[in-house]
Amino acid sequence: MKTSIQIEVRPTEIDVMGHVNNAKYLEYMEWSREDWYNKAGLPFDVFVEMGMGTVTANININYRKEAKLGQKLTVSTEPVRKGRSSYVLKHEIYNESGELVADAEVVNVVIDLKARKSVPLPEALAKQFES
């Protein structure tokens, strides 16, 4: 399942170069990831009930085009691949003109909340990677 959210670039997200600060793109992607989990029926509290959580292990981001104040951006999230305890979500950010602003692959790991160690993906999450 691919999901997307719409955002508008705010003044607090602009750096001294007059465009969106690089760290803000990670926040945009995090907001989109949260939306993806919710639409997949896997909000944070569902993981907690299973005694599990998800942590980000790696992010590879490509900054393609600058975004500026007031621009409306579309941030999408979709599952790419899964392993035993890890999985990859892909993000793309487009501007109003349909130009790719940034894209990234984010590696997440499912952990046992008490042991703080990786565990196999729960079935409900693994299903999200089936075609």
**What are the 10-residue block averages of pLDDT along the chain, 131 residues in total?**
98 97 97 97 95 97 97 98 98 98 98 98 96 69
Please indicate whether residue 15 is annotated as part of the active site: yes
Catalytic-role residue among 15, 35, 45, 103 = 15
Looking at this protein, which amino acid is placed at residue 44? F
pLDDT for 122 equals: 97
pLDDT for 62 equals: 98
SS (H, E, C) 95-125: CCCCCEEEEEEEEEEEEECCCCEECCCCHHH
Model confidence, pTM: 0.94
pLDDT for 4 equals: 98
To which CATH superfamily is domain 3-129 assigned? Hotdog Thioesterase (3.10.129.10)
Instruction: Give the pair of three-digit tokens for residue 51.
Output: 């005694």
Do the Cβ atoms of 4 and 75 come closer than 8 Å?
A: yes
Residue with tokens 């693994």: 126
From start to end of the chain, where are the E strands?
3-8, 52-63, 72-82, 86-94, 100-112, 117-118
